[in-house]
Amino acid sequence: MLILNIGTGSDAVNVQSTFGDTAIHSGASGQTFNVGDSSNALSQIPHALSIVGDDSTLNVNDSANTFVTGYTLSATTLVPSVGAAAYAYSSIASMSIVLGSAGNTITMQSTGADLTSITGGPGNDTFRTGTNTIAPSQFKPVLIDGAGGSNVLNVSDANATGNHEYQFVTTGTAGHGALVRDEEPVVFDWTNARISFTGGPGADLLSVIGAATDIIFGGGAGDDFLEVLGTLASTSVTAADGAGDNSFRVGSPTSGLDQISGTVRIDGNVIGATPDLIIDDSSATGGHTYTLSNSDDHDTLTRSNTTAFIRWQNWSSATINSGSGANTINANLNAGAMLTTINGNSSADAINLTASYRPVAIYAGDGDDTITLGANQTVSAITGSVSIDGGAGSSDTIIATGSIMLNSDGGEGEPPESFELAWYVNVEIRTLTG
């Protein structure tokens, strides 16, 4: 083995090739070690290499490697699968790794440097954690730049014990997202890659405060609560319900849907006992138009004055809370079976239910509201039961463009073309027959 002891100056050591196992020892704090040949590949360093630093910088560059390569990173070693042996390191303050140009995978078992930066190549790269935990004992901060291609960061905390809080936020750098666990220092900072996250068996809180890139949630085994508070227009949040009894909320308690500019997709999966979804725009001000519709196996919601697009499926119930202004809510729910609740507010709202094949509950709120049932002079497209509470307004009105069959306490007749108004309070009923 070749053992090289570096002097005490502020030296930079370039390791471009080896002819046997090599160990290099730093001679002073803050020295730099560059690993990679003159073309920026590791193929000329096929033997075991050990770098013993002293608050040092370690740069490993394999960008000229054109072969599909797997890299495994731990707190003490970096092991490429092609053309090189294990590279051991210790006492490193900053570590930089540049992957090859093919579609590569780097598995991060743990990190040893105070800060680790990993840059992908032009191919479609995968960055993944390999131990199903991102506890501080395993990971120090990691910066990831997918660079070119379509890249993914797979993060799993599936083996975590106890309950945890995960925050997905934007950073001060454009296009960068970050993951914070339990208000500890940032675990992962990434750009040019979407992130796929799986939580553990505890009752976790997952908060999307600002999505700078696409986020995919796989769903953990515990009873989790996911809240989407804000996204950028160019990003999407996709969530699949896990095995627990989970709840999801879209919308901020302080700004409603105003900070959600991208697409939110949530699949309840009907794995948990009673998955519930709340779309909360109650803190939004001004009048807005909400469009609630159904297509194939999913529901969608859009709102004026925002580019938010919310899509969901496989839920036992969904609740939509509108903002505080005088709103118009248009609902066309021509398929599906989930209970859908529409909540108005203190202003004069117009709620229009043109079709529904499911139970619908309407709570109009305290304003003088108008609730219109049916369309084109018929209520034939409303086959599910409808429940209505007009709230505390002094002049709430139901307008039915057809005939209403009240429940057994209503005392009305049962015309051939009708639906069941299961119950109603605080409203005046007007029917318009064609």
Extract the tokens encoding 401: 């463009």
Per-residue model confidence as pLDDT tens digits over 200-233: 888 999 999 987 889 998 766 778 889 999 998 8
CB 364 within 8 A of CB 351: yes
The pLDDT, as a whole number, for residue 17 is: 94
Q: Is the dihedral of CA 75, 79, 85, 87 positive or negative?
A: negative
How is residue 246 written in tokens? 């989970």
Helices (H) and strands (E) in the chain, counts: 0, 38
Q: What pLDDT score does 64 carry? A: 96
CA angle 322, 326, 332 (to 5 degrees): 55
Q: Which residues of 329-343 are buried (b: 16+ CB within 10 A; e: fewer)?
A: bebbbeebebbbbbb
Task: Kindly report the backbone phi and psi dihedral angles of residue 185, in degrees, each rounded to the nearest multiple of 5, phi listed first.
Answer: -55, 155
Q: Which SS3 state, helix, strand or coil, does residue 366 take?
A: coil
Q: What single DSSP character describes residue 184? A: P
DSSP 394: S
DSSP code string of 1-61: -EEEE--SS--EEEE---SS-EEEE-SSTT-EEEES-TTS-STT--S-EEEEEEEEEEEEE
Q: Which residues of the chain have pLDDT under 70?
A: 219-220, 241-243, 269-275, 393-394, 396, 401-425, 427-434
Residue 115's DSSP bridge partners are 94
Nearest Cα to Cα of residue 30 among 6, 54, 14, 13? 54
Domain ranges within the chain, ordered by starting residue: 329-334+341-434
The conformation of residue 151, written as its DSSP 8-state character, comes to: -
| Contact indicator for 1, 20 with CB cutoff of 8 Å | yes
In angstroms and rounded to an integer, the radius of gyration of the C-alpha atoms of the chain is: 29
Closest CA to 264 of 236, 225, 304: 236
Q: What's the pLDDT tens digit per position in 250-277? A: 999 999 999 999 999 988 764 444 557 8
- Residue 209 is encoded by which pair of tokens? 């405060």
Q: Break the chain down into helix, strand, coil percent, rounded to 5.
A: 0, 45, 55
pLDDT at 56: 96
Please tell me the distance from the alpha carbon of residue 351 to that of residue 362, in angstroms, as a whole number.
9
Q: What is the pLDDT of residue 413?
A: 36
Q: How far is CA 278 from the centre of its chain?
A: 16
